[in-house]
Amino acid sequence: MIKPIIGIFDSGIGGRSIEKEIKKTLPRYKTIYLADSKNFPYGEKTPLQLKKIAASNTRYLLRKGADLIVVACNTATVHAIGDLRKRFPDVPFVGVEPAVKPAGVIAKKGIIILSSPRATKSKQIALLIKKFVRGVKVYNIGSIELVRAVEEHWDGKKIKRILEKVLPKKLTSKCDVLVLGCTHFPLIKDKLQKHVGKGIKIIDSGEAVARRVKFLVSDIIPPR
């Protein structure tokens, strides 16, 4: 029996955080990761460009034998996953969206959603906030500079300066939950936690994506 192969793509290394969670949940399944450094960062692309990039990446992963595709990027998910499902109707797709729902459950002071600038302006995030957040304020913050810093392995001092600018104390003091709305950011979770302090809970969507992939490969895609 041959298990389904899981294809994953993102611009650069960000989606590795999603792949890590999938491997924890499905350690015996093969993954193929496409680090699309050529088109990094997705947060600076137009919706039309993202659709073309996502379709090209999907074709590549399918040629490599993938049975399921994970769009391991919030921005690409928002702007391209609907188009992918129309173009490739026989392929299961799993997207990534900020963990706004669990944030809305646990937040008592305020929520910061940290993502790319294009993602912050998406209708999807606005809908998630409207649907799942009650009684606390949401601060939607975007930073391409921080995405670049993670992708290009900037040193800790440079990342600290970015965090001081993007997440100043006057903002973090109003919040108790930080949602990582970009798959690059879990890769520096320790630095983020140190910056915002123990009083802020950091959550991302990696585990939820892994659970969805597990459901699909277990119940939807038959073994070959």
For the annotated catalytic residues, the residue numbers are: 73, 182
Angle made by CA atoms 14, 16, 19, in degrees to the nearest 5? 135
What are the angstrom distances between the C-alpha of 164 and each of 25, 168, 174, 177, 190?
34, 5, 15, 17, 15
Neighbours of 99 (CB within 10 A): 23
Cα(28)–Cα(2) distance, rounded to whole angstroms? 11
What are the angstrom distances between the C-alpha of 216 and each of 17, 26, 151, 187?
20, 12, 30, 26
What are the angstrom distances between the C-alpha of 13 and each of 20, 81, 138, 169, 219?
11, 20, 28, 29, 29
Neighbours of 1 (CB within 10 A): 5
Cα(26)–Cα(23) distance, rounded to whole angstroms? 5
